[in-house]
Structure 1
Amino acid sequence: MSQNKSIARLSRRSVLKTILYTPPILMFGQGGLFADQDVRPLFEPRQIPRHRKIRTAVIGVYNRGAQVIGEFNRFQDQIEFVAFADVAFLEHDASVRGFAGVPCFQDYREMFEQLHEQIDAVIIATPDHAHFPQIVHSMLLGKHVYVEKPIAQNVYECRLLEKMAKGCPGVIVQMGNQGHSGSGTLQFREWVKAGLIQNVRKIDAWMTNSRRWHGWTDTSYPEAIPPVGFEWDVWLMRRPFRPYSEKLVDGNWRCWYEFGCGAMGDWGAHILDAIHRYYLNSAMPYEITTKLIGPSDLIYPQGSVITFRFRGENGRPPVELSWYDGQGNNPPAPSGVNGNLGNVGSLVYCEDFVVRGTSHGGHYRLLSGEKTRELQEAGRIPETPRPPSNHYQNFLNACQGIEPVSSPIAVAAPLTELLCLGCVGQRFGGTLRYDAASAEITNHPQANAMLKGPDVRDGWQVYDRPAVMKSKAAQIKAPEDVPWENLIDESLSQWVNPYEWGRAQAVNGEVHLTTDRSKWFLMTKKAYANFVFEGEILMPVNEGNSGFQFRSQMAKNRVWGYQAEVDTSDRKWSGGLYDEGRRMWFISPNRDQAGTPAQRDASIAEFRARAGDCFKQGQWNTYRIVCIGSHIQIYVNGILTTDIHDAMDLAGHIGIQHHGERGLVYKFRNLRIKDLGVGGELYYPHRENAAVAAIPSKMDGAIYEAENANRMNDAQVADNHTGYQGTGFVDFGGAGSFVEWDNVLADQAGEFTLTFRYAASDDRPCNLLVNGEQVGRIPFASTGNWTTWQTVDVKVQFRTGRNAVRVVAVGQGPNLDAMAVN
């Protein structure tokens, strides 16, 4: 713990509570917790002894996160995973395969609140726009951080992180530009030190492969409904509200100016890394000129050429660095060079030769073989150092004091700032003049505003100050701290009847419901998310059927949503949970959604055993409904009848029901509620139309779902056979039909095992191509039918960085579910 005098007398838990719950204006104002001093972490970061494992939490465990976990898990003598957080954990009791018993959270803030003392380091593998708040939160709690590139999503965030780093010198932060620890980066450094690379005036760099947004024509944000349970509010974080869409998740966030950094942020960190660090000395350009191909106000262009101009300094002449992206948009080849430059690389134009670079820390070479021999004979080409560790182990070693971290904020933030300036250029085009000292674009107000990014949503501004932010769970009020609100008055002013029939009367503190037509509901005008509700009901003996609606929706002559059952019949289902107008009896008891008749009958028998006698005929019966987050509890006369987690609706109206029997009077009294605040997940009004959630992977390694492949030919995504993982599979056509993933990443060259999951009614072999070359044949032997899935392994060689894997049918192809890379 910090020894600062202002907090020396506070306990660790008291200090944590102070920083978590103190408004930032008080915390940093005069007399506040951090008055008269630089911002420091709440807890001194730990240097973990070599004999003890680094207790590590992961924020973002799917997609790239799964790959990063696999890379770190190779060093099990140094690392121990103690917590996982991901907005896509759809179940309250989610788990990560291979890590049984490790707690999982949807909200990373709740993870810290519950487990901060058990966490030494944090791995962040989330979308670009989420990096900054998660890094700040982790650093303030004294946690070491490994974060995927880029380290932030705009210039403003980069500058704040540099300020944070100065105030938290003991916190290790490593950006995940893996090549920075590679031998090629060290080689470039030695070439610069030896004077081999000098007097450079021109640099070209490019990544001209197909990107996700190529071909998109969106002029507005698409709109869909998140899968039930998906924590969209936390996914958005600081950004303005945008509706959920598959075009925003699973890596597609990279396409949008508000959420990602395009090809520049994705690949620039791997291609320009050594050049910016060791030749340009992390300098900033004074001018950025951009030519655009297919520009858009929302998504990155179909192609661009961005020219950064740097002033000469410290004996280095002025430099023009040009970045090319977009399919086929390669730079001109150097004089005397014939053939294709390839889709990824860099050219450094020295005085009398050109140096060719690749990406991800790959080696550099002179384009002229004759010049190479001349320099070798003269002893001017220095030996390339061998890296002491790869990028992942380098971070672990730094946490244990074994070696310095390779890509700290001092290196990563300036590189990311350069990339973000390129992103601004791609948005507006033309020439922008940049004052690096003040971090301002001086000739374009709109471009200057983009340096800070979109307006921050309410509640998320605390990270700018900087301070940590309460989780949603922490924002929900404790029931004992909230007074009861009475919902009944003489005019029933808090209620509305959405039907064209039905009558409600206030009679001596009671509400009497009757009808002359059919079933109807009296609903509260106000919607509630987290609450404790109580009410009493008196029903005719052995007649009628009623219920208390909650978190329900309404339209003209229609109500739908959760209902706490009031059952006067011998069925004895009072206190059960019915989904009115939707899933019906779906869980407690499960009559309508059970997988088999045996499961249905067992569920009904179990419910009757615990709750069958809770309801009292001819008496006032007291119902209590507690909803906090996805947790729903129903009590009848003090008996807990239903205790489940469900996230179909997380906010809505309270209601009381008349089932439609003419002449029967349903009576209610003592209707009251404790409103615990919204707190819970962002509410969508029609979650019943939500997409089906992806089925968790059944494979080990980095998973590439077939239905998400970048390219297909004569093949289509389908889900008409059960047993697949993800959201479906790819149904191949005839000979020549194919599926291709063009973004299979390898941190270093070598042998990898590809595991394909498939189904086939007979033998359906396919050819396997890696980086355009056929490397073998996948047998895809018969699995017997289309619902029996098997796996087959093939060993291949990958190069460092991006690889393309294509599966091509020889005749009729299989149903391909997924590929795993190990």
Structure 2
Amino acid sequence: MSSKALNRRRFLTTTAGLAGGAFTFPNLLLHGQNSASKKLNIAVIGALGKGQSDTQAIALDHNIVALVDVDKKRVEEAAAKHAKYFTDAGQTAPSTAPKLYQDFRKMLDENHKDIDGVIISTPDHTHFVAAMWALGYGKHVCVQKPLCNTIWEVRELHKAAKAAGVVTQMGNQGRTMEGQRLAKEWIEQGAIGTLKGINLWTNRPIWPQGPLKKVAAAAPAELDWDLWLSSEASEPYFEFDIPTGQSNKRGKSVHPFNWRGWWQFGSGALGDMGCHIMDATFSILGQAIPVKIEVESGEVSEHCAPTWSSLKYHFAPGKNNPEPLVVSWQDGVKDGQANKPAKPEMMADLSEEGWKKASSGMIFQGTEAVVYEGDAYCASPSIYPSAKFMDTKKAMAAGTLKKTEARSPKPNNPQGEWAHCIVNGGTPSSNFDYSCPLTEFVLLGNLAIRSGKTVQWDKEAMKVTNDEGANKYIKRASYRDGWLKAKA
């Protein structure tokens, strides 16, 4: 069977049986070509690690024409893995290999006429500048979560994407899955009574955080440290001392993994997992933004996020919460124990072993039952007590509880969904109209953590109203010249 026929079968399989709120595909075919044969030319910035899996998500259906990584060794490894992926899939690798670069600006300047879209899978601090550079050339963009690590960047990115008129997506795969949609349908149609509260948690950070200290060191020969810093102020390469009690199996350098805990480069536990774990909540609450955030946490340093935090996001009444509602977030290890909520009484028939294994998860507390998912993506939610879940399944089978949410044509594949919409038309599940405010919801937690105080948020004015000092964390202090936008 031809690859074209296989792709058609894959599409029909993933879209068959969609119910209510159908995922729409208007006739907006790219360049006027037939969608069945159109292959996009995609560039990937941040080529190894997450970038590698993001590339593989669409590599068999589209052309990967450029790979970028500031680490020469990593970009070469990514190219080798890209070629091997075709062999492993039983296909012949493309005759033209991707062009390799260390500087995404040079890649776009030289190749922008041959590129349809850009996937960005770098450390958080480079998401904004890389996406803005691509948007400057009018390219479709798919950006890993979180979209940015400051709220000002999120707002500016959203405006730039709308002005460019391109197809956008954030790489939070849960948004493409069936489970998140089921959870919303159950809650909206009264399967758990009235929604009263939400608990979210994660075992992150799984990298060093807290009061870390920079120690000057020699940069690896294959790494262009100046490019790694991108728009951040120039500074010598460094490693860091690991505090007593924190283990680290991935070295003492921020590159390539330990950058998440540093405010200038990452976004802590919230940045790593918030756009996953908070996603279903954001959808169920009607994409609302909290009005107040309370905070407790471990020690917060000038440079780094704490080893644990507990937040309370306060929401005004909405469609699915007739009364004001609190979303509780917990992360890390506190006093030697996982910082997570107590198991609700309604979940008595979930074993203690099962509860212990839920290192990340969510609970939607209703007056009659709870929706529970012991995973970050809301892929397979359940209802407790179990008898209530059986009643819900029967209602779904009988059609009295209906599927009303649009389903994704590419479940568990946000990059594939993005590419599909570029070619066929339609709107990706986590397009920037959705994912920019979701990212703002997440980053408001870091705003509270860094301020160390309860913050009251004015969404329209984009400012904290009760603590002027907290507003300095809304935007980076400065950007290096030559990084903010592409050459027109």
Within the candidate set 291, 302, 309, 1:297 is matched to 302
**What letter corresponds to residue 54 of structure 1 in structure 2?**
L
- Measure the CA separation in 2 of the matches of 1:184 and 1:46: 35
Q: Secondary structure at the match of 1:110?
A: helix
Within the candidate set 455, 467, 475, 2:478 is matched to 455
Q: 1:447 to 1:221 in 2, by over 3 A?
A: farther
Q: Which runs of 5+ in 2 are unaligned?
A: 1-28, 84-95, 239-251
C-alpha displacement of 1:156? 0.3
- Measure the CA separation in 1 of the matches of 2:339 and 2:173: 26
**What letter corresponds to residue 89 of structure 1 in structure 2?**
K
Q: 1:91 to 1:205 in 2, by over 3 A?
A: closer
**What letter corresponds to residue 332 of structure 1 in structure 2?**
A
Counterpart of 1:393? 416
Counterpart of 2:288? 283
Write the mapping of 1:433-448 to structure 2, written as runs, cut at 5 A. 433-448=456-471
- TM-score when scaled to structure 2? 0.79
Within the candidate set 70, 87, 93, 2:70 is matched to 87
- Measure the CA separation in 2 of the matches of 1:95 and 1:415: 30
Deviations 1:696-753 (A, max 9, x none): xxxxxxxxxxxxxxxxxxxxxxxxxxxxxxxxxxxxxxxxxxxxxxxxxxxxxxxxxx
Q: Would the aligned equivalents of 1:199 and 1:351 in 2 still touch at CA under 8 Å?
A: yes
**What letter corresponds to residue 208 of structure 1 in structure 2?**
N
C-alpha displacement of 1:79? 0.3
**What letter corresponds to residue 298 of structure 1 in structure 2?**
H
Within the candidate set 113, 124, 127, 2:123 is matched to 127
Counterpart of 1:154? 150
Q: Following TM superposition, where does structure 1 have runs of at least 4 consecutive aligned residues deviating by more than 6 angstroms?
A: 91-95
Q: 1:249 to 1:446 in 2, by over 3 A?
A: farther
**What letter corresponds to residue 330 of structure 1 in structure 2?**
K
Counterpart of 2:234? 241
- TM-score when scaled to structure 1? 0.48
- Measure the CA separation in 1 of the matches of 2:163 and 2:362: 36
**What letter corresponds to residue 389 of structure 1 in structure 2?**
K
Write the mapping of 1:722-733 to structure 2, written as runs, cut at 5 A. none
Q: 1:459 to 1:109 in 2, by over 3 A?
A: closer
Q: 1:469 to 1:126 in 2, by over 3 A?
A: farther
C-alpha displacement of 1:456? 1.9
- Measure the CA separation in 1 of the matches of 2:172 and 2:76: 33
C-alpha displacement of 1:228? 2.4
Asked if 1:174 is matched to 2:169, the reply is: yes
Counterpart of 1:806? none
Deviations 1:536-567 (A, max 9, x none): xxxxxxxxxxxxxxxxxxxxxxxxxxxxxxxx
Counterpart of 1:226? 219
Q: Which has the higher helix share?
A: 2
C-alpha displacement of 1:248? 1.5
**What letter corresponds to residue 312 of structure 2 in structure 1?**
T
Counterpart of 2:381? 364
- Measure the CA separation in 2 of the matches of 1:423 and 1:48: 45
- Measure the CA separation in 2 of the matches of 1:304 and 1:425: 10
Q: 1:351 to 1:394 in 2, by over 3 A?
A: same
Deviations 1:107-151 (A, max 9, x none): 111111111111111111101111111111112212111111111
**What letter corresponds to residue 156 of structure 1 in structure 2?**
W
Asked if 1:269 is matched to 2:275, the reply is: yes
- Measure the CA separation in 1 of the matches of 2:309 and 2:237: 28
C-alpha displacement of 1:302? 1.0
Percent identical residues: 29
- Measure the CA separation in 2 of the matches of 1:166 and 1:316: 32
Moved more, 144-153 or 327-336: 327-336
Counterpart of 2:51? 65
**What letter corresponds to residue 364 of structure 2 in structure 1?**
V
Counterpart of 1:406? 429
C-alpha displacement of 1:186? 2.1
Asked if 1:190 is matched to 2:190, the reply is: no
C-alpha displacement of 1:105? 1.1
- Measure the CA separation in 2 of the matches of 1:72 and 1:176: 13
- Measure the CA separation in 2 of the matches of 1:411 and 1:421: 16
- Measure the CA separation in 2 of the matches of 1:60 and 1:49: 31
- Measure the CA separation in 2 of the matches of 1:401 and 1:195: 36
Q: Would the aligned equivalents of 2:311 and 2:328 in 1 still touch at CA under 8 Å?
A: yes
Deviations 1:426-450 (A, max 9, x none): 2232211111111101222332110
C-alpha displacement of 1:407? 0.8
Counterpart of 2:265? 259
- Measure the CA separation in 2 of the matches of 1:372 and 1:96: 47
Larger radius of gyration: 1
Q: Secondary structure at the match of 1:157?
A: helix
Q: Secondary structure at the match of 1:349?
A: strand
Q: Secondary structure at the match of 2:480?
A: coil
Q: Would the aligned equivalents of 1:95 and 1:104 in 2 still touch at CA under 8 Å?
A: no
- Measure the CA separation in 2 of the matches of 1:92 and 1:410: 32
Q: 1:92 to 1:303 in 2, by over 3 A?
A: closer
- Computed over aligned residues only, the root mean square deviation of the Cα atoms, in angstroms, reads 2.6
**What letter corresponds to residue 283 of structure 1 in structure 2?**
A
- Measure the CA separation in 2 of the matches of 1:326 and 1:91: 30
Write the mapping of 1:639-650 to structure 2, written as runs, cut at 5 A. none
Deviations 1:172-207 (A, max 9, x none): 111000111111122123324434466423111000
Write the mapping of 1:615-694 to structure 2, written as runs, cut at 5 A. none
C-alpha displacement of 1:385? 7.7
Q: 1:149 to 1:48 in 2, by over 3 A?
A: farther
Q: Would the aligned equivalents of 1:94 and 1:104 in 2 still touch at CA under 8 Å?
A: no
Asked if 1:108 is matched to 2:104, the reply is: yes
**What letter corresponds to residue 426 of structure 1 in structure 2?**
I
- Measure the CA separation in 1 of the matches of 2:118 and 2:204: 32
Q: Would the aligned equivalents of 1:95 and 1:103 in 2 still touch at CA under 8 Å?
A: no
- Measure the CA separation in 2 of the matches of 1:123 and 1:213: 28
Q: Would the aligned equivalents of 2:30 and 2:423 in 1 still touch at CA under 8 Å?
A: no
C-alpha displacement of 1:367? 1.6
C-alpha displacement of 1:381? 4.1
C-alpha displacement of 1:221? 2.6
**What letter corresponds to residue 117 of structure 1 in structure 2?**
K
Q: 1:396 to 1:309 in 2, by over 3 A?
A: same
Q: Would the aligned equivalents of 2:192 and 2:368 in 1 still touch at CA under 8 Å?
A: no
Q: Secondary structure at the match of 2:58?
A: helix
Counterpart of 2:197? 202
Q: 1:366 to 1:90 in 2, by over 3 A?
A: closer
- Measure the CA separation in 2 of the matches of 1:49 and 1:362: 33
Q: Secondary structure at the match of 1:400?
A: helix
Asked if 1:351 is matched to 2:367, the reply is: yes
**What letter corresponds to residue 297 of structure 1 in structure 2?**
E
Deviations 1:19-54 (A, max 9, x none): xxxxxxxxxxxxxxxxxxxxxxxxx98576421210
Write the mapping of 1:589-608 to structure 2, written as runs, cut at 5 A. none
Q: 1:91 to 1:437 in 2, by over 3 A?
A: closer
Q: Would the aligned equivalents of 1:181 and 1:361 in 2 still touch at CA under 8 Å?
A: no
Q: 1:262 to 1:95 in 2, by over 3 A?
A: closer
C-alpha displacement of 1:324? 0.3
Q: Which runs of 5+ in 1 are unaligned?
A: 1-43, 471-822
Q: 1:318 to 1:91 in 2, by over 3 A?
A: closer
Higher relative contact order (CA 8 A, sep 6+): 2
Q: Would the aligned equivalents of 1:147 and 1:176 in 2 still touch at CA under 8 Å?
A: yes
Q: Would the aligned equivalents of 2:47 and 2:75 in 1 still touch at CA under 8 Å?
A: no
- Measure the CA separation in 2 of the matches of 1:82 and 1:410: 28
Deviations 1:207-236 (A, max 9, x none): 02551015x641x33322222252222211
Asked if 1:335 is matched to 2:352, the reply is: no
Q: 1:255 to 1:228 in 2, by over 3 A?
A: same
C-alpha displacement of 1:333? 1.7
Q: 1:119 to 1:336 in 2, by over 3 A?
A: closer
Q: Would the aligned equivalents of 1:127 and 1:253 in 2 still touch at CA under 8 Å?
A: yes
